[in-house]
């Protein structure tokens, strides 16, 4: 058992540690798209009939694209910087484990909006065609880089596939969503509505940041690890319990004879004491003086006091059907079930046979009725030792200016009405002056 406790504590510490690491350091996976590793190019609209001119130069050790935007026959003039990850459009890098694109770009523009388009071009044999660069999927977003504004983060979840590209290449719907599994080109282009003029785009840095492991995957791993521990613990406990059952059976056989010889004396001693010998509940002797004190407290107006009279439904039939030994076991179990449903300040007394009384200090009739209904439901839904359902009927009353025998008699009368009403019910008897009425609690 101690071994499993140590394993559990260790696993708990490890789980917390892994989750804390993932929260603070899990997204530190980085890739830098630098000119030293990858090929940077400048491109313009000449290949589609435009007259704009773009050139890539070095500025303070950083690649800088200078563009002279001119409006010609082509309706959407542009200039762009393109980063190629390989010589083939079919070979790229997997960026699906990254969540953010971090761009540090200084952009001087004749356009007052000063926005750029960013495309992550994904290659997939399903839609990518050889010698057709436009067939690479356009995962695009537009943003405003500013000048000397520092790095700006763009979530990859903000990228969208261009609808014109989906329509032109008749891409099936299952491949129309953003895709980053094989990015072969990154393009940073001027916006689609720029005016003629001179533009300069200096790329200080391009980075992608992501998690070493996805949160869902990490949680699944932790969950599976806990499941393995739980299953191992259950198997171990099952083996231990089987062993204990064998030991218990041996001890039970030895103690049965001793218990039989002591039963008569135990009954005699229990009657002299304040506990019922069969069930362990209090007997009448245990509460006689206490009930007198409660009666005085109620008469003096210092507190409320209610009584719940309980009778097990059809108990005689259970005894006749299953035998008195099972009946005795049910009575013991009944005491345990009711005790779990009441407060420690309440008194559960075996009044006789299958009848029990719960005395409830500081309870008015409504509170006692709610408690009785709670007891009724617990008894009804409990899994009993004889594997059959069991119910009880309950009579409730609040003590007024009367003797304790009178309030118990009224509770007994309410119990009688509960049985006549079909059993498994709570009936509350309310006394107002000399008038007595009965109300049913459902």
pLDDT in tens, 204-215: 999 999 888 777
The answer to which of 249-258, 259-268, 300-309, 368-377 has the lowest mean pLDDT is 259-268
Task: Say what the pLDDT of residue 331 is.
Answer: 94
Inform me whether the pLDDT recorded for 433 exceeds 50: no
SS (H, E, C) the chain: CHHHHHHHHHHHHHHHHHHHHHHHHCCCEEEECCCCCCEEEEEEHHHHCCCCEEEEEEECCEEEEEEEECCCCCCCCCEEEEEECCCCCCCCECCCCEEEEEEEEEEECCCCCCCEEEEEEECCCCCCECCEHHHCEEEEEEECCCCCCCCEEEEHHHCEECHHHHHHCCCCHHHCCCCCCCEEEEEEEECCCCCCEEEEEEEEEEEEEECCCCHHHHHHHHHHHHHHHHHHHHHHHHHHHHHHHHHHHHHHHHHHHHHHHHHHHHHHHHHHCCECCCCCCECHHHHHHHHHHHHHHHHCCCCCEEEEEEEECCHHHHHHHHCHHHHHHHHHHHHHHHHHHCCCCCEEEEEECCEEEEEEECCCHHHHHHHHHHHHHHHHHCCCCCCCCCCEEEEEEECCCCCHHHHHHHHHHHHHHHHHCCCCCEEEEEEECCEEEEEEEC
pLDDT category at 430 given cuts 50, 70, 90 is confident
Task: Say what the pLDDT of residue 270 is.
Answer: 54
Task: Say what the pLDDT of residue 437 is.
Answer: 40
18 lies in some domain: no
Q: For position 193, which CATH number holds?
A: 2.60.120.430
pLDDT category at 69 given cuts 50, 70, 90 is confident
CA angle 427, 431, 434 (to 5 degrees): 145
The DSSP bridge pattern shows strands 426-432 and 392-398 to be parallel
What's the whole-number average pLDDT of the chain?
88
More confident residue, 306 or 269: 306
60 lies in some domain: yes
Inform me whether the pLDDT recorded for 347 exceeds 70: yes
Task: Say what the pLDDT of residue 420 is.
Answer: 95
The DSSP bridge pattern shows strands 355-361 and 347-352 to be antiparallel
For CA atoms 122, 125, 126, 128, the dihedral sign is: positive
Model pLDDT for residues 17-48, shown as the tens digit of each residue: 888 876 776 777 889 999 999 999 999 988 88
* Range 31-66 burial, b when 16+ CB lie within 10 A, else e: eebeeeebebebbbbeeeebebebebeeeeebbbbb
87 lies in some domain: yes
Distance CA 144, CA 191 (A): 10
* Contact between residue 181 and residue 96 where contact means Cβ atoms under 8 Å apart: yes
Inform me whether the pLDDT recorded for 370 exceeds 90: yes
The tokens 């890098």 sit on which residue? 93
326 lies in some domain: yes
Distance CA 361, CA 342 (A): 12
7 lies in some domain: no
CA-based R_g, the chain, Å? 42
371 lies in some domain: yes
Task: Say what the pLDDT of residue 414 is.
Answer: 95
More confident residue, 271 or 414: 414
Q: What average pLDDT does range 106-134 have in this prediction?
A: 88
Do 200 and 281 lie in one domain? The reply is no
Do 86 and 199 lie in one domain? The reply is yes
Q: Which residues contact residue 34 at a Cβ distance below 8 angstroms, ignoring those fewer than 6 apart?
A: 205, 206
Do 329 and 417 lie in one domain? The reply is yes
Do 202 and 324 lie in one domain? The reply is no
Task: Say what the pLDDT of residue 435 is.
Answer: 35
335 lies in some domain: yes
Model pLDDT for residues 70-98, shown as the tens digit of each residue: 888 888 889 999 999 998 989 999 999 89
Q: Which residues contact residue 310 at a Cβ distance below 8 angstroms, ignoring those fewer than 6 apart?
A: 338, 355, 356, 357, 358, 372, 375, 392, 393, 394, 415
Task: Say what the pLDDT of residue 82 is.
Answer: 94
Distance of CA 407 to the CA centre of its chain: 49
The range of the structural domain enclosing residue 83 comes to 29-212
Closest to 39 (Cα-Cα) out of 116, 115, 101, 92: 92
Do 48 and 179 lie in one domain? The reply is yes
Task: Say what the pLDDT of residue 374 is.
Answer: 96
Q: What average pLDDT does range 265-274 have in this prediction?
A: 63
| Residue 67, strand partner residues | 54, 199
Task: Say what the pLDDT of residue 4 is.
Answer: 74
Q: For position 409, which CATH number holds?
A: 3.30.70.270
Model pLDDT for residues 124-141, shown as the tens digit of each residue: 999 999 888 899 999 999
Do 56 and 204 lie in one domain? The reply is yes
**Burial (0-12, 13-18, 19+ Cβ within 10 Å), 432:** exposed
Inform me whether the pLDDT recorded for 442 exceeds 80: no
Task: Say what the pLDDT of residue 267 is.
Answer: 60
pLDDT category at 1 given cuts 50, 70, 90 is low
Distance CA 322, CA 163 (A): 77
- Helical packing angle, 215-272 and 2-25, nearest 10°: 150
Inform me whether the pLDDT recorded for 439 exceeds 50: no
The tokens 């977003």 sit on which residue? 141
Structure tokens at 121: 């071009």
pLDDT category at 423 given cuts 50, 70, 90 is very high
Task: Say what the pLDDT of residue 265 is.
Answer: 63
Q: What average pLDDT does range 156-168 have in this prediction?
A: 93
Task: Say what the pLDDT of residue 114 is.
Answer: 83
Alpha carbon dihedral 109, 111, 115, 117, in 10-degree steps, equals -90
% of the chain residues with pLDDT over 70: 93
Backbone angles phi, psi at 129, to 5 degrees: -115, 140
Domain boundary pick from 182, 212, 242: 212
Domain boundary pick from 212, 244, 260: 212
Inform me whether the pLDDT recorded for 319 exceeds 70: yes
Q: What average pLDDT does range 335-354 have in this prediction?
A: 93
Inform me whether the pLDDT recorded for 195 exceeds 90: no
Domain boundary pick from 190, 212, 234: 212
Total domains present in the chain? 2
């Amino acid at each position: 058992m101690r071994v499993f406790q140590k394993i559990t504590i260790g696993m708990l510490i490890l789980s917390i540690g892994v989750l804390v690491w993932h929260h603070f350091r899990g997204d530190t996976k980085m890739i830098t798209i630098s000119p030293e590793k990858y090929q940077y190019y400048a491109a313009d609209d000449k290949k589609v009939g435009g007259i704009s001119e773009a050139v890539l130069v070095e500025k303070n050790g950083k690649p800088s694209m200078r563009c002279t935007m001119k409006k010609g026959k082509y309706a959407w003039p542009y200039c762009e910087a393109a980063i190629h990850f390989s010589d083939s459009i079919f070979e790229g890098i997997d960026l699906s484990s990254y969540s953010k694109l971090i761009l540090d770009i200084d952009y001087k523009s004749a356009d007052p909006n000063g926005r750029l388009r960013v495309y992550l071009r994904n290659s997939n044999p399903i839609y990518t065609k050889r010698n057709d660069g436009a067939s690479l999927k356009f995962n695009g977003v537009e943003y405003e880089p500013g000048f000397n504004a520092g790095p700006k983060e763009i979530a990859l979840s903000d990228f969208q596939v261009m609808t014109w590209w989906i329509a032109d290449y008749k891409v099936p719907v299952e491949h129309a969503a953003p895709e980053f599994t094989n990015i072969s080109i990154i393009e940073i282009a001027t916006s689609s509505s720029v005016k003629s003029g001179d533009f300069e785009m200096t790329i200080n840095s391009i980075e992608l940041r992501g998690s070493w492991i996805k949160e869902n995957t990490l949680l699944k791993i932790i969950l599976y690890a806990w499941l393995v521990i739980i299953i191992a613990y259950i198997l171990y406990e099952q083996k231990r319990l089987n062993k204990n059952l064998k030991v218990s059976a041996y001890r039970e056989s030895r103690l049965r004879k001793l218990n039989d010889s002591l039963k008569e004396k135990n009954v005699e001693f229990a009657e002299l004491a304040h506990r019922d010998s069969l069930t362990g509940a209090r007997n009448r002797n245990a509460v006689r003086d206490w009930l007198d004190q409660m009666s005085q407290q109620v008469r003096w107006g210092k507190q409320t006091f209610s009584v719940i009279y309980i009778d097990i439904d059809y108990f005689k039939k259970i005894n006749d059907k299953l035998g008195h030994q099972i009946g005795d076991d049910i009575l013991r179990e009944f005491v345990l079930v009711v005790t779990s449903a009441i407060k420690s300040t309440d008194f559960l007394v075996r009044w006789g046979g299958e009848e029990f009384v719960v005395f409830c200090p500081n309870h008015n009739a409504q509170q006692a009725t709610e408690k009785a209904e709670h007891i009724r439901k617990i008894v009804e839904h409990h899994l009993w030792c004889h594997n059959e359902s069991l119910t009880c009927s309950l009579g409730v009353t609040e003590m007024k200016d009367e003797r304790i025998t009178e309030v118990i008699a009224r509770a007994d009368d309410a119990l009688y009405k509960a049985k006549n009403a079909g059993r498994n019910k709570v009936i509350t008897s309310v006394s107002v002056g000399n008038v007595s009425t009965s109300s049913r609690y459902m």
